[in-house]
A = this chain, B = another copy of it.
Amino acid sequence: MAGTRKVIELFYDVVSPYTWLGFEVLCRYRNVWNIDLKLRPAFLGGIMQGSGNKPPGLVPNKFAYMGKDLTRLAEYFGVPLGFPANPFEAMFEKGSLPAMRFVTAVAESGEGREADVEKVSRELWMRIWGRDEDITLPASISEAGLKAGLPANEIEELLKLAGSPKIKEKLKSSTQEALGYGAFGFPLIICHVNGKKEMFFGSDRFELMAHCIGEQWLGPQPATMSAKM
């Protein structure tokens, strides 16, 4: 069925605000481009450590610009992104390890969980980057799961699964796979085109990506834009 469709893999972590923009764009383009989107939950902390990269926010001018840039992009992309009161604490002290283990557990809990992985990821982003809420405690993750439409008893099971060696290993190996592709941050996007793998970093290469995969870029809100035409 998906044989003639181009496969696009998105390696991501809900701790990254820029990645949220790219995640929403790719979810929207699933219905616009002839693509099969594979969501690949991974761990940004492992990418930064493995690549030796440093958070851009450590340079004051860069941090100030990122705030402005993200605010403008969020409005233009139509993503309800807002800054946590303490972004450093949220991103680097609290981090996303339990959250991404939970997302991995959802993905690994059976076949055809793509829609749930998408919804749970979005609800986690809504918490940390939309409403400045915790994503580290089991109660926080449960709430995201409930909002994503998962039954309470399944969430219980998934939380247990998230702490298992199997899921910890899976998250590690996905992160390693991203590092193997040359990751130094997220989003990392792998386009499988004509037997080749084209790697893109960031949420600002979609126009170029469209050009590379032979599709058309219609802006970050393609439905709205085509409705306007």
Nearest-neighbor residue (CB-CB) of A66 within chain B: B201
Contact between B52 and A184 (Cβ–Cβ < 8 Å)? no
Q: Known contacts A207-B219, A212-B72, A219-B207; is A53 also within 8 Å of B64 by CB?
A: no
A32 contacts partner chain B, Cβ-Cβ < 8 Å = no
Q: Which residues of B contact A182 (CB under 8 A)?
A: 61, 64-65
A178 → chain B, closest Cβ, in Å?
Answer: 10
> Which A residues from 179 to 229 make CB contacts under 8 A with B?
179, 182-184, 199, 201-202, 204-205, 207-208, 211-212, 219
Interface SS, A side: helix
Contact between B69 and A201 (Cβ–Cβ < 8 Å)? yes
Nearest-neighbor residue (CB-CB) of A59 within chain B: B53
A60 contacts partner chain B, Cβ-Cβ < 8 Å = yes
Contact between A61 and B204 (Cβ–Cβ < 8 Å)? no
The number of chain A residues with a CB under 8 A from chain B is 29
A83 contacts partner chain B, Cβ-Cβ < 8 Å = no
A 49-64 to B, binary, CB cutoff 8 A, 1 in contact else 0? 0011110000111101
A14 → chain B, closest Cβ, in Å?
Answer: 22
Q: How far apart sit A61 and B199, CA to CA, in the bound complex (Å)?
A: 12
Contact between B59 and A184 (Cβ–Cβ < 8 Å)? yes
Q: Known contacts A69-B201, A204-B204, A208-B72; is A184 also within 8 Å of B62 by CB?
A: yes
Q: Which of B59, B76, B202 contacts A52 (CB 8 A)?
A: B59
Contact between B201 and A65 (Cβ–Cβ < 8 Å)? yes
Q: Known contacts A53-B59, A59-B184, A60-B52; is A65 also within 8 Å of B199 by CB?
A: yes
A54 → chain B, closest Cβ, in Å?
Answer: 8
Nearest-neighbor residue (CB-CB) of A185 within chain B: B62
Q: How far apart sit A54 and B55, CA to CA, in the bound complex (Å)?
A: 12
A194 → chain B, closest Cβ, in Å?
Answer: 15
Contact between B205 and A204 (Cβ–Cβ < 8 Å)? yes
